[in-house]
Amino acid sequence: MNDLCTVILAAGQGTRMRSKLPKVLHPVAGLPMIAYVIEACRPLQAKRTLVIAGHQADKVKEALAGEAIEFVSQPDQRGTAHALLQAREALDGFDGDLLVVSGDTPLLTSHTLDGLLRTHRETRALATVLTADLPDPTGYGRVVRSETGGLLRIVEELEATPQERHIREVNAGVYCFAVQALFAALQKIRPSAVKGELYLPDAIALLRDRDGGVQACRVPDPDEVRGVNTRAELAEIHRLLWHKTAQRLLAEGVTLLDPDRACIGPLVRIGSDSILYPNVTLEGQTVIGEGTTIYSGCRIRNSTIGDDAVILDGCIIQESQIGDECQVGPYAHLRPKAQLRQRAKVGNFVEVKKSVIGKGSKVPHLTYIGDASIGERVNVGAGTITCNYDGFTKHQTVIEDDVFVGSNASLVAPVLVGRGAIIAAGSTITEDVPADALALGRAQQINRNEFAAAFRSKRQKG
């Protein structure tokens, strides 16, 4: 089997988006749209993946940090063929197949890309282009075929004749090339008479008459190749994506009480017998176990939730891990690196950040837990705060197993509360508490008898 490299075109400015953000970084269900393209390419196991970056390249690199990709710079955006020419040096010595995709097609699937690659290899073509039949082809390059159905060329809409503009088969902007033949053809492409750009589809006509020729592969679902050039198209992509994901989840045994109001990204995975109430938003690479119930108004991003958990109304959960049989909310906020062990409970108006709450522990309400490690079977009373920041550095609070923290306590980190200790309500704890000790950090209470009655009498006379 031939080697494969992938090139993702992501250099365009996207002027019609009217945005300071590069087009490919506009979020779709919580992730940059280019992240979905990278995910679709991943199962093909290409030897290398190159991203052509131009407009605000630094932002694109920052957003994709950690991905197994290489960047190629296109400082001047002079068309798609010009973009590929920038990758020639990086691909020097490579003699396999080159998959070319656009970074603004977040609905594209690995199944479709695999079909394109198989067609390319089975026919031994020099170039294979993915096409789609659209009811309204406006904005897309048209696929011109011969009388016998062979692929002749691809013409951009601005340069198409009135007759060619009636063609409904369009170029999806996804190609597979024999790389050496491609770069030989790219050298011969001339700038467009209309825009002065070098168009990659012009390579199709140049390769058509060579041994191997060119092939076209129709995409099964035209929605997959929808690009994003405007805010309206971005909104339509969200609608299509949420609908497709909802249908998949219903088929997999997930209950969506109102599928039309389920905003769930395509990378989200949910176990069977889980129930989602209306107006739940699940983003990124969130994973939810079996038998879990999520109530209305929750937004969960890049988090893991175990089996038989309950997430009550109005919770925000980001980059967190929630164990089996946990309960969260209502109106709780779990910030990045929050971890809840099995059967832990975080109640209403509780904020947790970069903390571990142990098995069976409870933080029922009105509490901030930050930079803390809480053991098992701990009860944290209402209004408790872990005071983790001294104005310069974040510090750790450690609460061991079986501790009882009374209401309205302030734990000034760094501090350790030993196993089985009791923190009296209203205490400010600034020193470590030994195991099984009672810690009181209150000011001395003073009662002045009859003071209130005398005060009221004085005010009334005044």
Rg over alpha carbons for the chain, rounded to the nearest Å, is 30
Cross-strand partners of 173: none
CB 35 within 8 A of CB 10: no
Q: Report the distance separating Cα 28 and Cα 54, nearest Å.
A: 21
Q: Which of 26, 55, 333, 365 is catalytic?
A: 365
365 labelled catalytic: yes
- Quick one: three-class SS letters along 304-330? EECCCCEECCCCEEECCEECCCCEECC
Q: For strand 339-340 and strand 356-357, is the pairing parallel, antiparallel, or unpaired? A: parallel
CB 332 within 8 A of CB 350: yes
CA angle 203, 223, 150 (to 5 degrees): 35
Q: Report the distance separating Cα 222 and Cα 239, nearest Å.
A: 15
Cross-strand partners of 10: 53
Whether residue 330 has a cis bond before it, omega within 30° of 0: yes
Cross-strand partners of 410: 385, 428
Q: How far is CA 318 from CA 127, 425, 442, in A?
A: 43, 31, 36
Q: Which residues are catalytic?
A: 365
